[in-house]
Amino acid sequence: MRRIGIALVILLTGYFAGIYRNEPLMIMAVTEVLLVIAMWVLSILLKGSLLIGFVSDSGEAVRGSNYSCGVAIRNKGLLPVSRFCLSLLSGYEGGKKKTETIYGGILKGEQRLSVDVDCRHCGIARVSAEKVKVYDYLSLFSSQKRIGRSMVLTVYPQEMAAEISLAGLKEARQAIQSGTVITPYAGGNDEIRLIREYREGDSVRHVHWNLTARMDELWVREYNSERDVPLRFFIDLTGLGAAGGSSESAGPGSRVDDAADSFFGVLNALLLGLLADAGCIRVMWRGSDIFGGFEENADGAVSAMDIRSQDDCRELLRRLYLERLGDPEPMTLRMTSNGMPDEAGSLISLDTGLNWRVDGQLVWHFSATGYEEELRSNIFEL
């Protein structure tokens, strides 16, 4: 409408200037035409001087929170940009995307805007700056350019550690250490990691008798390899479902994503709880059938990762998120003929039905909607 109005003014000015042979009106008409051309050229120049990107290319958030994504806008030209329109696209990978439009202006230098991202599900979300329109000072013309910059946001479950007692597994390990089986951490030539006070369940073979006599209380040696012997944790991803749900799903917010949230929440809580009393957890998983089935190589390879810290837990979750998107990062581990990892020791497992087992025996079946309360109110003994 503004352009139509300006065009009518120019036409009327030119018309009356021609009828009445009025020189000032003719000068005015020419000036109006030149002004319109100048505004068109200005929109192109201002577009070139505007640079848009993200404050950070990646970020981390917790499910259920709002993440403030920083957008950096810089005007490298001498002229101020009075008005621009920035189009952003946000959403979870594999799911439905949401379009957001931001209007603003910048004199010179750098300006930062924030965009809130609703982290309602666990997974990988992306915020993309798609394009920007820059207007002239009269908003008659706009010049558009594509940006193609994006920020990746990894959304993790809420931090919660299950309270787990490993007394039963420690007794089994103690039996091994007592001499039934010779283990690499029963002493020998292994390097001593630390000397600490005796804790219930420690082997008497590790007691530091000289220090115990001086301190008048029990002290034990802990070897590097003793705490590095990993617990085995097998994850069955079958039936997890692709990120964003099926093609009939509405994307994030579907039952598929809700089920995945429960699974990742339980998995994270169990791993953090086990880490409180274990030095290393070897987590293994086979690819989900949502990618056309798991293709085993000649050695029966699966994906595996050793977890020693909370950061490792987050890296594992990130890999599992990519597994749902069809972009796994595999590591190999030899399998037995029955399809289970070929390593000694007890096997802890969790499937997408939230069934937690040790050596095939069910420890707990978590509720998809009430698992957080179950984790908070129970002590699990293995």
Amino acid 136: pLDDT: 94
Residue bearing the bigger pLDDT, 129 or 176:
129
Give the CATH fold of the 50-156 domain: Immunoglobulin-like (2.60.40)
**Angstrom distance (rounded) from CA 225 to CA 237:** 30
pLDDT in tens, 333-352: 444 444 444 444 578 999 98
Rg (CA), the chain: 32
* Domain layout of the chain by residue ranges: 2-48, 50-156, 229-381
Written as one letter, the residue type at 301 is A
Which of the four pLDDT bands, split at 50, 70 and 90, describes residue 68?
very high
The predicted model gives 187-208 an average pLDDT of 68
Which of the four pLDDT bands, split at 50, 70 and 90, describes residue 133?
very high
The predicted model gives 210-216 an average pLDDT of 81
pLDDT in tens, 18-48: 888 888 888 998 898 999 999 999 999 999 9
pLDDT value at 59 more than 90: yes
In contact, 129 and 144? CB cutoff 8 Å: no
Query: Can you say whether the dihedral through the CA atoms of 24, 28, 30, 31 is positive or negative?
Result: positive
Name the residue among 254, 244, 347, 247 with its Cα closest to residue 302: 347
Question: Can you give the pTM of this predicted structure?
Answer: 0.73
Which residue's structure tokens are 């617990």? 231
